[in-house]
Each structure stands twice: as C-alpha cells, then as structure tokens.
C-alpha cells in the first residue's frame, strides 16, 4: 500500500496501524537497539515509485521503520512524504549484488545501497525480527 503520509489523516493512520501494527513503545525500542534504519540511498525502484521520485532533483533517499507486524519505507518527493507499507507476510528482501539490498512487496520494490556497516547491521536485525515474528507456515506444521 503506497500512501501519502504528509498530513495527519486519521483514516490513513488507522489503515497503516491495521496493516503493520502500532509503533513500538520507547522501552521496546531501547530493548531492540532501535527500530529505524540509517538514511538509505535508492538505486532503483518500481515504476510507480520512480514516477514520484523524478518530480524533484534531490538525491533519492528513504528510511525504514520496523513495526510489530511489518515495515514502513518512507521517502520524500517535492514537499510530500510517501510511505510504502509492507506487512511481513508480503515482505521479500534479497541481497543481489555485493552492496545492494532489494525490498519487495507485490509489484513495488526498492533497491538500496548497503555500503556501510550500519546499513548491513540494520538489515540483519530486520531479517532476524521478521523470522522471529512471522506467522507459522504450513511447512512448519
């Protein structure tokens, strides 16, 4: 679900909270070692997101927030903030080239550089949290 989160709209906030859960409490954030990624540099995106990003001439960056039932990828274009809401059951993360992570949800995707240790540490923490909190699949039964 790709939404504009620039304005405080209760209907959109409710839809996001239903999809990926409410934000973690401060205590949970400290226990997890943080829930946000460092600034991620976007190298490639799907067509819908690319059409939003090419509207301005700024460097394409995003950040990822971990939620109890999914993640939120936020990016800016012009003066608007957009969010790609991804529940864990639709989230696919691939590490293709040496320093590129790909984050997929259905037909939306981001490819971001992972040139620093902080980015690599964040993605390993995200994958670990996803594995611990994913629903039980049929194969596990």
The torsion region of residue 69 among left (phi > 0), alpha (psi -120 to 50) and beta comes to alpha
Residue with tokens 């274009």: 77
32-65 tens-digit pLDDT: 888 999 999 999 999 999 999 998 888 999 999 9
User: For residue 135, is pLDDT > 70?
Assistant: no
Closest CA to 95 of 67, 122, 69, 76: 122
Give the model's confidence band at 86: pLDDT under 50 very low, under 70 low, under 90 confident, else very high.
very high
Tokens of 68: 């109890």
Tokens of 31: 């226990």
Q: Is 40 helix (H, G, I), strand (E, B) or coil?
A: strand
Beta bridge partners of 81: 76
Q: What is the mean pLDDT of residues 101-128?
A: 91
């Amino acid at each position: 679900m790709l939404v504009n989160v620039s304005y405080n709209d209760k209907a959109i906030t409710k839809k996001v909270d239903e999809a990926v859960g409410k934000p973690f409490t401060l205590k949970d954030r400290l226990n997890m070692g943080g829930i946000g990624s460092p600034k991620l540099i976007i190298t490639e995106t799907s067509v819908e997101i690319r059409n939003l990003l090419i509207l301005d001439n700024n460097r394409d960056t995003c950040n990822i927030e971990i939620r109890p039932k999914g993640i939120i990828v936020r990016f800016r274009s012009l003066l608007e903030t957009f969010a790609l809401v991804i529940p864990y059951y639709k989230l696919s993360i691939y590490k293709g080239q040496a320093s590129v992570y790909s984050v997929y949800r259905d037909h939306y995707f981001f490819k971001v550089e992972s040139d620093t240790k902080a980015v690599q540490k964040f993605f390993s923490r995200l994958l670990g949290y996803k594995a611990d909190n994913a629903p039980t699949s049929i194969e596990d039964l």
